[in-house]
């Protein structure tokens, strides 16, 4: 891997980075969204993608260009940037997607890499095999072998300063994804797409998308730029960024528009059924749904640029780029997981995605900043955030006096303990001196829930396990039975509510 990706800010496993694309002479800020441009149908002119939407990079398909007589020679002659009218970075796909859809394509990695170089691509792709989900293991392994060979062929090719993708496959086998990530990372290729995600994304299997990304990331080097191939719905951008993805591509904006579908950060609506637009992009500010429905450049007299489909595509792009900016702002402020939490309320499958991400809180903890502005407890998923995990690890290293009272209420005015520590769900106990340090400054609801209480009990257990000689007493505010049960037996517990405190 070259030294072409610089990470600036972290939040959970999400990051803001800078990807140098030497052949284009540009540096692209990540997370980045690459609109998919069909070389045959420019739904929104690439020049406008840059000027009006802020796209720094786009993706098109070199296989389609190569196999379409009408455009191949023009692209070869003018170069891809001139042909599309786009000065930014251009990534090209290789036909792998067509291979997955139709089972066969007539080009080798060697040939398509050479073609991508000839047309002036900035980031090329070999012919990997996008193994679909749920296939048997033997097939997943066999096809991964073919993908590894494609990476080797790409490494051997003459690429100059063009970057090259090293797709990570492995279907729904996390160990294969991890191995594929490790293998790809050891090549001298540059960008690492997690592939064959479209079938999972189309059926809202976000939990498995997160598993595949996390598995690939375990194998990849920490500073590898990761592309979630085929992902561009605004609803899942925050989740995918928090899982560690840096690049996205959206065909959704155009494909959905063709179908009359309107994207939002909490799902997809049908224009046909809408009475109001919940958006203030230029399209939605200037039209009502009823007005947008009857605009149709195709039924004669209308302006093709003002057709329902094009304007819907423009709204879809606006809402997607807006969400991407919101994700970046959240990383800078350290509240990306709060944004993911909000998005997870849009669809139960998104909630599964968030819960799966939090299964990997120990991995997220490795890159999560030690200090941020604020921790807001906004749902019981907040109890599983990496900050809680980190506090519990720290508890096992804190020095503890012989007799210690842990309490959710104020310290009693008279007592014979050696010290009195605060207890705050979901973190659990801590010395009062740490009250003003992150994340113990967290804003938590007055009425804690069972998940926060259980997490606090786990903090008590962590402290007790590390200090087997200490005599611990816990005063809790009417915790649920499963939280009380999670406190080790040797810790004496008092329900403050029963004591009238
Ligand atoms: Zn809009």
Q: Which of 11, 93, 190, 249 is catalytic?
A: 93
At 105 the pLDDT is 86
DSSP, collapsed to helix, strand or coil, labels residue 147 as: helix
Q: Is 279 annotated as a binding residue?
A: yes
Residue position matching structure tokens 């528009």: 257
393 is a catalytic site residue: no
Interatomic CA distance for residues 240 and 250, integer angstroms: 14
| Cβ atoms of 224 and 36 closer than 8 Å | no
Interatomic CA distance for residues 252 and 257, integer angstroms: 8
User: What is the distance in A from the centroid of ligand 1 to the CA of 317?
Assistant: 9
Element (H, E) at 194: strand 192-194
Q: 218: phi > 0 → left, psi -120 to 50 → alpha, else beta; which?
A: alpha
The whole-model pTM stands at: 0.95
DSSP, collapsed to helix, strand or coil, labels residue 2 as: coil
At 83 the pLDDT is 97
| Cβ atoms of 50 and 321 closer than 8 Å | no
At 1 the pLDDT is 52
User: Across the strands, what pairs with 494?
Assistant: 475
Interatomic CA distance for residues 348 and 365, integer angstroms: 25
| Cβ atoms of 197 and 188 closer than 8 Å | no
Dihedral, CA of residue 407, residue 409, residue 415 and residue 418, to nearest 10: 40
User: What is the distance in A from the centroid of ligand 1 to the CA of 200?
Assistant: 27
Residues in the chain with pLDDT values less than 50: 299-301
User: What is the distance in A from the centroid of ligand 1 to the CA of 305?
Assistant: 16
List the structure tokens of 53: 């939407």
Q: Is 410 annotated as a binding residue?
A: no
| Cβ atoms of 62 and 116 closer than 8 Å | yes
User: What is the distance in A from the centroid of ligand 1 to the CA of 151?
Assistant: 41
Q: Is 82 annotated as a binding residue?
A: no
At 262 the pLDDT is 98
| Cβ atoms of 155 and 187 closer than 8 Å | yes
Between CA 423 and CA 426, with CA 424 as vertex, the angle to 5 degrees is 125
Q: Is 411 annotated as a binding residue?
A: no
Between CA 120 and CA 132, with CA 126 as vertex, the angle to 5 degrees is 135
At 439 the pLDDT is 96
User: What is the distance in A from the centroid of ligand 1 to the CA of 320?
Assistant: 10
CA 85 to each of CA 89, 170, 311: distance values in angstroms, whole numbers, following the listed order: 12, 36, 20
Q: What is the pLDDT of residues 37-90, one digit of tens each?
A: 999 988 899 999 999 999 999 999 999 999 999 999 999 999 999 999 999 999
Residue position matching structure tokens 């020095």: 399
Q: Is 245 annotated as a binding residue?
A: no
Residue spans per domain, the chain: 5-360, 380-498
The sign of the CA dihedral 344, 350, 356, 360 is: negative
At 97 the pLDDT is 82
At 303 the pLDDT is 61
At 102 the pLDDT is 85
The CATH fold of domain 5-360: TIM Barrel (3.20.20)
């Amino acid at each position: 891997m070259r030294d072409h990706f610089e990470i600036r800010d972290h939040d959970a496993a999400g990051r803001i980075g800078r990807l140098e694309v030497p052949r284009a002479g540009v540096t692209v800020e990540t997370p980045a969204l690459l609109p998919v441009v069909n070389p045959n149908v420019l739904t929104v002119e690439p020049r406008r993608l840059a000027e009006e939407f802020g796209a720094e990079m786009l993706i098109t398909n070199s296989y389609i260009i190569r196999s379409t007589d009408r455009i191949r020679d023009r692209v070869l002659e003018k170069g891809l940037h001139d042909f599309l009218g786009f000065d930014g970075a251009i990534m090209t796909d290789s036909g792998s997607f067509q291979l997955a859809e139709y089972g066969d394509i007539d080009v080798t990695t060697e040939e398509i890499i050479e073609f991508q170089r000839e047309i002036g691509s900035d980031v090329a792709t070999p012919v990997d095999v996008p193994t679909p989900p749920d296939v048997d293991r033997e097939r997943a392994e066999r096809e991964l072998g073919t993908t590894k060979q494609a990476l080797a062929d790409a490494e051997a090719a003459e690429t100059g300063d063009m970057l090259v993708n090293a797709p990570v496959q492995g279907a729904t086998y996390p160990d294969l994804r991890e191995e594929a990530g490790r293998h790809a990372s050891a090549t001298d290729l540059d960008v690492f797409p997690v592939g064959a995600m479209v079938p999972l994304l189309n059926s809202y299997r976000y939990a498995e998308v997160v598993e595949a990304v996390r598995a690939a990331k375990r194998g990849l080097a920490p500073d590898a730029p990761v592309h979630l191939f085929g992902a561009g719905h605004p609803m899942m951008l925050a989740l995918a960024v928090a899982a560690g993805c840096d690049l996205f591509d959206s065909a959704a904006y155009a494909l959905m528009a063709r179908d009359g579908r309107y994207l939002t950060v909490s799902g997809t609506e049908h224009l046909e059924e809408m009475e109001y637009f919940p958006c203030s992009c230029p399209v939605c500010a200037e039209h009502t749904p009823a007005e947008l429905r009857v605009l149709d450049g195709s039924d004669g007299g209308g302006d093709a640029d003002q057709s329902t489909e094009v304007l819907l595509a423009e709204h879809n792009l606006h809402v997607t780029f807006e969400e991407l900016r919101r994700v970046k702002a959240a990383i800078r402020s350290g509240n990306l997981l709060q944004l993911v939490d909000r998005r997870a309320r849009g669809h139960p499958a998104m909630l599964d995605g968030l819960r799966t991400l939090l299964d990997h809180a120990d991995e997220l903890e490795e890159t999560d900043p030690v200090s941020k502005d604020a921790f807001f407890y906004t749902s019981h998923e907040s109890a599983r955030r990496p900050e809680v995990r980190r506090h519990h690890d720290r508890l096992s290293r804190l020095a503890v006096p012989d007799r210690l009272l842990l309490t959710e209420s104020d310290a009693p005015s008279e007592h014979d303990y050696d010290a009195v520590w605060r207890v705050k769900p979901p973190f659990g106990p801590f010395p009062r001196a740490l009250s003003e340090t992150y994340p113990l400054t967290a804003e938590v609801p007055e009425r804690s829930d069972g998940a926060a209480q259980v997490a606090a009990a786990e903090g008590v257990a962590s402290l007790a396990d590390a200090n087997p000689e200490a005599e611990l007493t816990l005063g809790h505010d009417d915790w649920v039975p499963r939280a009380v049960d999670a406190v080790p037996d040797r810790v004496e517990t008092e329900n403050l509510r029963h004591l009238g405190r």
